[in-house]
Structure 1
Amino acid sequence: MATVEQVAVPPQDGVGAYQQQEVPHFRCREVVEQAGKDRAPEELPSWLAEADIDTLATEFTEAGFTSALSWYRNWQLTAPWEGAQYRMPGRYVTGDRDLVNGFPGMDQLIPALPTLHPGIEPAHILPGCGHCIAEEYADQVNATLLEFLGSLKS
């Protein structure tokens, strides 16, 4: 079941300040299930074992997941930097099957990154890759990072 909370959402055109808006606040599982439609693999990949899943489930059951999400939900902490632009060179690398890409607003935010932060190149999206890009596609991640670093002027 959803409750309502105030959150900062990106502007529709990807330019300008974030706006405060009332949005439904869903439990993490509901968001992940919705975002993960058509993205979840049929079986676990070779780099992830059932024992890993069990460990993560145990840790999150005991400690919760709230603290991991609180940074993103606590817009008051980042309010002093609203409108600030990241100007260092950067490359955003993600997988097209990453659940985060299905979260509300990400379809607008990712393409807007070079406008919002002039030092960041357009997103580099790895096809068939999920959230754990370094584990899933280590060679491709290393290649894109080396190519990016090689493009920087010293």
Structure 2
Amino acid sequence: MEAEFAEIGTERVIKGFLTYRVTDPIMLAKGNLFGHSADTPISLPCWLSQEEVDYYVTKFDKNSGFSGGINFYRNFNRNWELMAPWVGAKINVPAKFIVGDLDRVYHMPGIKEYIHSGEFKKKVPLFQEIVVMEGVGHSINMEKADEINKHIDDFFRQFN
């Protein structure tokens, strides 16, 4: 995967990840990553500037590129093993959950049902609210920064 990402370039990968709007699993077919051929321009949405893209590109290129994120998925089973001591543990602090309706993680099999059925609340007893923002993907803090900040501020103000 790192070789394929290197072939198309860090900038294209960053743009592809941040602008991906398909709620199905990410398709990273060779030569057609994120549903675009390598020569198809990726337009930036209003919430993402070229300056921001350039910043991310610089940081990824300076460090280990995408290996860290990719290695997380390569090590998925080990991560479960390491977290085993906390299976069944509850999160006992007030919480609010905010997600975009276009976030592909929200559309993974079983996730919506888990969140909305009450199962999530069993693990987070002080859970207060689910907010599903329309037209928003995985980069919710970038896409709707003002709304996210308001949700966070409102949440914390209740504790004054």
The bucket for the TM-score relative to the shorter chain is 0.5 to 0.7
Q: Distance in 1 between matches of 2:75 and 2:89?
A: 18
Residue from 119, 140, 144 that aligns with 2:126:
119
Identity value in percent: 27
One of 14, 27, 36 as aligned partner of 1:33? 27
Gaps of 5+ in 2: 1-23, 29-33, 36-41
- Which residue is equivalent to 1:47? 47
Cα gap change, 1:125 to 1:67, in 2 (>3 Å): same
Could you tell me which residue of structure 1 aligns to residue 101 of structure 2?
A: 96
What is the TM-score of this pair, normalised by structure 1?
A: 0.61
Count of aligned residue pairs for this structure pair: 117
1:84 paired residue number: 89
- The answer to whether the 8 A contact 2:95-2:129 is kept is no
Once the 2 structures are TM-superposed, how far is the Cα of residue 71 of structure 1 from its aligned partner? 6.8
What corresponds to 2:39 in structure 1? none
The DSSP-based 3-state class of the residue aligned with 1:129 is coil
- C-alpha deviations, 1:44-92, integer Å up to 9, x for none? 31233568289399722xx363233367542111111111110111111
Output the amino acid matched with 2:113.
Answer: Q
What's the counterpart of residue 150 of structure 2? Answer: 143
Alignment CA distance shift 1:106-1:46 (3 Å): same
Equivalent position amino acid for 1:79 in 2:
A
> For 1:89 and 1:71, how far apart are their aligned partners in 2?
31
Cα distance, 1:69–1:123 mapped onto 2, change above 3 Å: farther
2:72 is matched with which residue?
68
In structure 1, what is the Cα distance between the partners aligned to 2:103 and 2:97?
13
Instruction: Flag structure 1 segments of 5+ consecutive residues without an equivalent.
Output: 1-29
Paired amino acid for 2:27: E
**1:12 aligned residue:** none
